Structure 1
Amino acid sequence: MNKIFEVPLYAYQRSPDQDTASSVRHKVIVIGAGPVGLAAAIDLAQKGVPVVVLDDNDKVSFGSRAICFSQRSLEIADRLGAGGKLVDKGVLWDAGKVFFDNRQVYEFHLQPDAGYAHPAFINLQQYYFEKALVERVRELQAEGAPIEIRGQNKVEAVGTHNDHVKLEVETPEGPYNVEADWLIACDGANSPTRRMLGLDFEGRVFEDNFLIADVVMQADFPTERWFWFDPPFNRGQSALLHKQPDNVWRIDLQLGRDIDPEQEKQPENVIPRLKAMLGEEINFELEWVSIYTFQCRRMERFRHGRVLFAGDSAHQVSPFGARGANSGLQDTDNLCWKLKMVIDGDAPELLLDSYNRERVEAADENIRMSTLSTEFITPKSDMSRLLRDAVLDLSEHYAFARPLVNSGRLSTPCAYSGSSLSSADALTGPEITRPGSACPDAPLGDEFLLPKLAGKFTLLTIDADAPDSIEEGGVQATRLALSVKDDLTLELKRRYLGDAPGAVYLIRPDQHVAARRDTFEENAFRQAIRRATGKE
């Protein structure tokens, strides 16, 4: 058993709040020290916002859980100060293979283009992700940043008020009360916060059950994503194989509908299934086993007054496609700069409604893609299965059929078409950088573009004139001037310029495009700043 599960990373310590007669008010409290909650806390602390994280545990999550982290998540982790550590530990992969019955029908590559600082995906157990973020918290604390984690602090009650939220917290030494100007709930799919506020999910729960197992073994399988439809070792069902660090392999096996979950998790039932898949000659140990069902659901709204929901507490999708944790990290990336502006008085509270609007759109996109994957993987009728199998047969020989195969459309960042960003002018330019989209990386000599866009409003010009900065309503956008003459790879031109002679972009602090035009037009960009900051 991996010892990391047993080590308290943020052991209980009595806080001064427990020794005061009245409730202490904090600027922001985050509930949950998983990847999403820690990311939110680190982001806020780096912006100078005091934040306290409450968690009923004091260790990393047991089992690998989320394992597949996207390029966008690594870019976000870079801004949090942990990206390099995650990539160094993770297993990099780019290729995937799809099998039907006992034959390979095709393979794919995720990132055929060069010019990105990070790979398309890494595989990394969630406990390592959490550990890296806790270590980043300790670094920030050593630098004097206003961030605190309180382990074994279980929130038992939440009371909402117009200007704050009140919490009742249970600890090993008894209860205490605490208040927050703002509360961010990152307490998982079974969110106690959501339940205490009388809120619920909307959406679908699918009936098929899946066995998920972390297996420690020495194996010669390549570092690729392998997905089987109707394999001989799991006839009529599906299977997935992924490599993780430390010779741990993630295996997902579809089991069907009418099963006894507790019985199926027992080693005497799991091991024969794995031997049928891996071969009798392969020696392995079970590290973690669980049973899950597909759920494609979300809250109606992610903001409820002073309480903001993020990650699994706000939305759930099936694990095929790696849309859960990656989407949660994008939630916090969207939220924290907006909350900072509201706290500082640089934007109205209305700006936080754009967090709800944009991330609900992203959740709906993820749910839609996840539902399509689920329906392809688990057809609900004989006719659906016949059609699915025909697509798989065709995909072996004909390229046109391969995009129709759906073993889990892998996570990509949402372009916020439904937000105010879509009304900002975009006269010409590539689709990949239309308003609302997340900025793709691009090489700039020995450096990359995205680190130059982090944490602030940027006026990005490419072969176009503009002032060094513009200020609108107390918000400043600073110019970053680039030229395709310095773009030896031509990726900057392809991703940001296209056929236009020049381009001017307004980039938000979360590296999403707020506006794009061929030339700098002051009134248009001032209006774009107002829209992006909730003032219009």
Structure 2
Amino acid sequence: MKKIFEIPLYPYARSADQDAPAPVRHKVVVVGAGPIGLAAGIDLAQQGIEVLILDDNDKVSFGSRAVCYAKRPLEILDRLGCGKRMVEKGVEWNVGKVFFDDRLVYEFNLLPEEGHQFPAFINLQQYYFEEYMVDRIRELQKEGAPIEIRGRNKVAAVADHGDHVAIEVDTPEGPYNLTADWLIACDGANSSIRSMMGLDFVGRVFEDNFLISDIIMEADFPTERWFWFDPPFNRGQSALLHKQPDNVWRIDLQLGWDIDKEREKRPENVIPRLKAMLGEDVEFELEWISIYTFQCRRMEKFRHGRVIFAGDAAHQVSPFGARGANSGLQDTDNLCWKLKLVMDGKAPESLLDSYDFERIHGADENILNSTRSTDFITPKSEISRIFRDAVLDLSEHFEFARPMVNSGRLSVPCTYDGSPLNSADALLGGPARTRPGSPCPDAPLGDEFLLPKLGGRFTLLTIDADAPDVIEEDGIEVTRLALSVKDDPTLALKERYLGDAESAVYLIRPDQHVAARRPSFDENIFRAAIRRATGKE
């Protein structure tokens, strides 16, 4: 039986565009049908924007690749219609353990509080993720949504002409041309769009290599993230073990810098390394082998006229910390509602510059954390190694040392501090976690949860405060969601949104980030906040 990544999901078929007498113009063209490109296409289509996804492949990715998905991206995917299916298939985990040599020195819980619809993390192979998103596209097409995906359509050239982008596409039946109002480049770390435009990354490439192995085996290891420093089976290096669905296990082994990559990927060299880790008698089957190099880099700008970059095409981080696909999903979550407003004439084109500001802020935060993780995992001097090992020894017995252990600071949602879309914080005593720029934390509401009620629109969230049910400001409609802490026996709503305040009014953006908050509703102030949040002030 063929495996999922061997089956074409969107096989090549000749399109009407190839027979048109002149290039057909599309609203948005997304290049790349990986997780980020598919998310962008679904998000735009759900908002009624015509979108065409082009990919030079016709099937899902081979190998697990992106494997860890954090709570915030799962919440985003839930709004896109894929989150629950991913959780049902994925392996949930909250606990991580850190080993030094063969000793457990530290463990942590990534979701110590109750009252969230989604777990801290799930592990799920990328090919399942992509399959579910393509299935979602098919659902949208049946509902009449304006979305199309074309396999084996490779973009060969792009040119930004100021008011549109010209695109040349290669297919098995020859090239054709089309144009787009906007192009979103989600074509990965080796982005051909970036190369065509003469753009590059800035940042660091670390002198180290890691072997990734997906193996199929039956094992009774718990559903946890296990990370080793200097283990007996990989002396002087590190290792990582993750459980995935279908008895697939992801193993990362640090190899060092000066290696023969092709030689190290050969099964006859991989299998002895894995047996040293798992035991000589453990039976397993190799599914996928790859080698990666740590990179912490990004483009200087993500928006270049009418061409906008997202995901790995815009930024790269080392995989420890699960910041790649998770941050890419936050890219599209940030971008698509802004592009919708601009295309509808309800916001100035300059609103898209806030995508650059906010997601570069997010990329820099990820690069900083990823760089620190890499420096801890792979110390570059003997002094650094002595310090690292001392921290690990201390963490086994003393709590103060445990926050210093860095086996990959795991992905957390980005707060857009300093964003030009934020209004001043006027909620005295309000929780820091829901200040302007912050993503909204979930909270239980009886048998339901808060975030699905916020949806993907501008919302005025009132907690024990009065306000109009609807506000319209310069074409932007904001609907009210009225809540009370009296209806919240868990006190999660109070803890996460009120703090020491008695009441609160929040302006929530379509990407569920806080734009403004005050203790009560003031019409003039909130109208100004709406204008600011849409780039008009």
TM range (shorter): over 0.9
Does 2:106 match 1:106? yes
> How far, CA to CA, are the matches of 2:420 and 2:516 in structure 1?
10
Whether the 8 Å CA contact 1:230–1:238 is kept in 2: the answer is: yes
Q: Is the 8 A contact 1:421 1:435 kept in 2?
A: no
The residue type equivalent to 1:360 in the other structure is: I
The yes-or-no answer on 1:56 pairing with 2:56 is yes
Shift of 1:255: 0.4
> What corresponds to 1:26 in structure 2?
26
Per-residue deviation at 1:195?
0.2
Where does residue 210 of structure 2 map in the other structure?
210
The aligned counterpart of 2:339 is: 339
Query: What are the within-5 Å matches in structure 2 for residues 56-205 of structure 1?
Result: 56-205=56-205
- Distance in 1, matches of 2:420 and 2:471, equals 20
Matched AA of 2:27: K
Unmatched segments (≥5 aa) in structure 1: none
Q: Could you say which residue in structure 2 is the equivalent of 1:285?
A: 285
Give 1:299 shift. Answer: 0.2
Q: TM-score, normalised by structure 2?
A: 0.99
- Distance in structure 2 (CA, Å) of the matches to 1:228 and 1:367: 22
8 Å contact from structure 2 (residues 463, 485) kept in 1: yes
Segments of 4+ moved more than 2 angstroms: 421-428
> In 1, Cα distance between the equivalents of 2:146 and 2:507?
30
1:199-225 CA-partner distances (Å, limit 9, x unpaired): 000000001110011010001111100
Equivalent residue for 1:485? 486
Report the Cα offset of residue 420 of structure 1. Answer: 1.6
Aligned-partner Cα distance in 2 for 1:90–1:381: 39
Q: For residues 465 and 243 of structure 1, what CA distance do their matches in structure 2 show?
A: 48
Distance 1:152 1:52 in 2: 13
Matches within 5 A, 1:500-515: 500-515=501-516
The 8 Å contact of residues 229 and 239 in structure 1, kept in 2 or not, is answered as yes
In the alignment, structure 2 segments of 5+ residues that lack a partner are none
1:444 aligned partner: 445
Matched residue, 1:372 = 372
Contact 1:11 1:58 in 2 (8 A): yes
Summarize the alignment of residues 223-262 of structure 1 with structure 2, pairs less than 5 Å apart: 223-262=223-262
Amino acid at match of 1:68: C
Question: What are the Cα deviations for residues 83-106 of structure 1, in whole angstroms up to 9, with x where unaligned?
Answer: 111111000011111000111002
Alpha-carbon distance in 2 for matches of 1:418, 1:500: 23
Of all paired residues, the percent bearing the same amino acid is 77
Once the two structures are TM-superposed, the CA of residue 466 in structure 1 deviates from its matched residue by 1.1
1:63 and 1:214 in contact (8 A); partners too: yes
- Aligned to 1:174, what secondary structure does the other structure show? coil
Equivalence for 1:426 = 426
Work out the CA distance in 2 between the residues paired with 1:425 and 1:222.
44
Query: How far apart, CA to CA, are the structure 1 residues paired with 2:2 and 2:357?
Result: 41
Q: Distance in 2 between matches of 1:126 and 1:341?
A: 31
Name the CA distance, whole Å, in 2 between partners of 1:9 and 1:170: 19
Deviation per CA, 1:292-332: give whole Å up to 9, x if none: 11000000000000000000000000000000000000000
How much has 1:425 moved relative to structure 2?
2.6
Matched, 1:471 2:475: no
Contact 1:395-1:402 within 8 A present in 2 as well: yes
Aligned-partner Cα distance in 1 for 2:281–2:104? 22
Deviations 1:144-185 (A, max 9, x none): 110000000000000111100000000011100000000000
Shift in Å at residue 525 of structure 1? 1.0
Which TM-score applies when normalising by structure 1? 0.99
Counterpart amino acid of 2:100? F
Inter-partner Cα distance in structure 2 for 1:234 and 1:292: 17
Map of 1:526 onto structure 2: 527
How many residues align? The count is: 536
CA-atom RMSD, angstroms? 0.8
Return the offset for 1:426.
3.2
Aligned counterparts of 2:15 and 2:43: Cα–Cα separation in 1: 23
1:393-443 deviations in whole A, cap 9, x for unaligned? 000001110000000001011100131244433332001101000000000
Whether 1:16 and 2:39 are equivalent positions in the alignment is: no
2:299 is aligned to 299
SS of 2:410's equivalent in the other structure is coil
Alignment check: 8 A CA contact 2:422 2:533 kept = no
Equivalent position amino acid for 2:316 in 1:
Q
Letter in 2 for 1:388: R
User: Which deviations, in whole Å up to 9, do the C-alpha atoms of 1:90-125 show, x marking residues without a partner?
Assistant: 000111110001110021111110000000000000
Measured in 2, the distance between the counterparts of 1:427 and 1:463 equals 14
Q: Whole-Å Cα distance in 2 between the matches of residues 492 and 238 of structure 1?
A: 41
Residue matched to 2:408: 408
Query: Match of 1:449, as an amino acid?
Result: L
Secondary structure, aligned partner of 1:456: coil
Rounded Cα–Cα distance in structure 1 between residues aligned with 2:384 and 2:175: 55
Task: Report the Cα distance in structure 2 between the residues aligned to 1:397 and 1:107, rounded to whole angstroms.
Answer: 12
Greater shift after overlay, 412-421 or 33-42?
412-421
Q: Are 1:37 and 2:58 matched, yes or no?
A: no
Q: Secondary structure of the residue that 2:175 maps to in structure 1?
A: strand
Aligned equivalents of 1:423, 1:142: Cα separation in 2:
41
Aligned to 1:314: 314
User: What is the identity, as a one-letter code, of the residue corresponding to 1:443?
Assistant: P
Counterpart-to-counterpart distance in 1, 2:81 and 2:110 = 25
Could you tell me how far apart the structure 2 residues matched to 1:463 and 1:144 are?
Answer: 40
1:127 & 1:418 partners in 2: Cα distance?
A: 37
